[in-house]
A and B are shown apart, each in its own frame.
Chain A
C-alpha cells in the first residue's frame, strides 16, 4: 500500500535561511507526488506536483522539490524563507486514494 513519511514534525528556521523539508514515500508503481501547504484553520493549497519527466519541479511561492527514485524521496526546498512561509506542509502520494504524510510544521524566526 502506498504511504508517505515526513520525518520532521517541527522545523524552525531563521528568516532568509534556506529550507529543506523531507518526504519519503512507498508506492508500487510510478508515484504521483505532491506538496501542499496549510495555514492555521484553513484548507490545503497545492505548492507543486510531480508526475513524470524532469525530476526537479518548480512550484509557487519560490518552492521547488526534487524527485529521487533511488532514495524514494521528494524533498521540498526553498533558498530563502520568508516569515509568511510559516505554516504546516504536507507531502502526498497517490492517485484516486491520495495519501498524506503527518505534516511538518514550519516556524520562521525573525
Chain B
C-alpha cells in the first residue's frame, strides 16, 4: 500500500534562517506531488505541484521554493524565513491521472519567531 511521510512534525525557526521540509511517498511510481500551506483559520493554499522529476509549478510568488530530486521525494525550502511563513504545511500525492484524489501527510507545524 502507499504511504506518505512528512517531517518534521513541528519546527520552530528564527526569522532569517533557512528551511527544508521533506516529503517522501512509498508504494507508487511517478506520483503527482503537492505542497500546501494552511495559515491559522484559513483554507489550504496550493504552493507548488509537480508532475515529474524536476518539474515544479509554482502557484504563489514568495520566498519559498520546491524541488523534486527523486521520483517520490518532494522538498520545500527557503533561504531566509519570514514571520509570515508560519503555518501548517501539508504534503500530498495523487496518482498521475486527472481524476483521482490527493492523499495527505500529517503536516508540519512551522513557527517562525
Q: Is the interface of A mostly helix, strand, loop or mixed?
A: loop
Main secondary structure of the interface of B (DSSP, over half): strand
Residues 90-113 of chain B, each 1 if its beta carbon lies under 8 Å from chain A, else 0? 101010001101111111010000
- Determine if A99 is an interface residue (Cβ-Cβ < 8 Å): yes
Instruction: Collect the chain B residues with CB atoms within 8 Å of residue A98's CB.
Output: 34, 46, 92, 94, 102
Within 8 Å by CB of A32, from B42, B98, B107, lies: B98
Within 8 A of B (CB), among A1-48: 6, 32, 34, 36, 41-46
Size bin of chain B's contact surface: 20 to 34
Does B43 lie at the interface of the complex (its beta carbon under 8 Å from any beta carbon of A)? yes
Separation of A45 and B46 alpha carbons in the complex (Å): 17
Question: Quick check: is A100 within 8 A (CB to CB) of the other chain?
Answer: yes
The contact string, 1 if C-beta is below 8 Å from chain A, for chain B 15-47, is: 000000000000000001010100000111010
- B75 interface contact, C-beta 8 A: no
Residues 89 to 110 of chain A near chain B (Cβ within 8 Å)? 90, 92, 95-103
Partner of B107, one of A36, A43, A95: A43
Contact residues in A for B63 (Cβ distance below 8 Å): none
Given A43-B104, A44-B104, also A97-B49 (CB < 8 A): yes
Distance, CA A41 to CA B38, complexed state (A): 11
Residues of B within 8 A of A83 (CB): none
User: Do A96 and B49 touch across chains, with their CB atoms under 8 A apart?
Assistant: yes
B51 at the A interface (CB under 8 A): yes
B70 at the interface (CB under 8 A from A): no
Contact with A43, one of B32, B59, B99, B106 (Cβ below 8 angstroms):
B106
A residues contacting B by CB (< 8 A) are: 6, 32, 34, 36, 41-46, 49, 51, 90, 92, 95-103
Please name 16 further chain A to chain B contacts, defined as beta carbons within 8 Å, in addition to the given A98-B92, A100-B36, sorted by A numbering.
A32-B98, A34-B101, A41-B107, A42-B107, A43-B106, A44-B90, A44-B104, A51-B99, A96-B32, A96-B49, A96-B51, A97-B49, A97-B57, A98-B34, A100-B43, A101-B43
